[in-house]
Homo-oligomer: A and B are copies of this chain.
Amino acid sequence: EIVEALIRGAGPSSLEGVRVLLTAGPTREPVDPVRFLGNRSSGRMGYALAESLADLGARVVLVSGPTALSMPRVHERIGVETALEMHAAVMSRVADCDLFVATAAVADYRPERPADGKIKKSAEGLTLRLVRNPDILSEVAALDPAPFTVGFAAETERVADYALGKLRDKRLDMIAANLVGGERGGFERDENALSVFWPEGSRDLPMMSKTRLAAELAALIAERYRERHAAST
């Protein structure tokens, strides 16, 4: 049994000594001091995954957008609000990580020029000009050397197509994809299901609680991470 425990400690699921940088939650993009563009990410899946990776022995630094969640059991939590702030926090820490996991629902666009004062309602219509935010995940995956990089994809349709496209185009090591906006879990729900893809394979994790799903996904990430490291040494 002691031997078994030792084997297990160094087995395919251990992340002892591995430094993880993980993003979670939504970002908020100010329109004016009162209004913002947001999204429905609760941060629950990301926080649960951060704890599951810590449970496997990893030292987890969490970069989190605004959520209603309490501090998870991780090494450090850095709070941010906008995509630009999340980008800056990740870029300042990424050189010190072995494994980067991007669960955050980062706003793709932000208002071009947020107003200093509250916009008064006057006109019948209003046009909001948006500009692209940096793509944190792509930037990290393109680093040389890059950490082992895991992305998330929340899609309202054609989940596998879009996820495989992102895996290839962004040169990720893994991507976990799920269907949102329907009745089948995802944002603002306690349950979720994921389809996980990597260059050589895939695995479906069926509908279950986000806590259990996070534990299974963490084990799968650890397995792939260690396999790549075994291959490169």
Binding site for B on A (CB under 8 A): 28, 31-40, 68, 105, 107-109, 112, 116-119, 121, 123-132, 154-157, 180-181, 187
Contact = CB atoms under 8 A, between A and B. Distances in A.
Contacts of A180: 33-34, 118
28 contacts: A28-B38, A34-B39, A34-B105, A34-B154, A34-B180, A35-B37, A35-B107, A36-B38, A36-B40, A37-B37, A68-B68, A108-B121, A109-B121, A109-B125, A109-B126, A116-B156, A117-B156, A117-B157, A117-B181, A118-B155, A118-B156, A123-B132, A124-B132, A125-B130, A125-B132, A126-B130, A126-B131, A127-B128
Contact of A128 (B39, B124, B130, B187): B130
Contacts of A157: 117
B118 A154 contact: yes
A84 to B, nearest CB: 16
A112 B124 CA distance: 11
B126 A127 contact: no
A154 B118 CA distance: 9
Nearest to A128: B128
Nearest to A187: B34
A120 to B, nearest CB: 8
Contact of A130 (B28, B107, B127, B132): B127
Contacts of A187: 34
Contacts of A131: 124-126
Contacts of A34: 39-40, 105, 154, 156, 180-181, 187
Contacts of A39: 34-36
Sorted from nearest, which 5 A-B pairs have the closest CB atoms?
Answer: A33-B181, A108-B121, A128-B128, A126-B130, A68-B68
Given A31-B37, A34-B40, A125 B154 contact: no
A71 to B, nearest CB: 16
Given A109-B121, A124-B131, A127-B130, 10 more contacts: A32-B156, A34-B154, A34-B156, A35-B37, A35-B38, A36-B38, A108-B121, A109-B125, A117-B157, A128-B130
A180 to B, nearest CB: 6
Contacts of A117: 156-157, 181
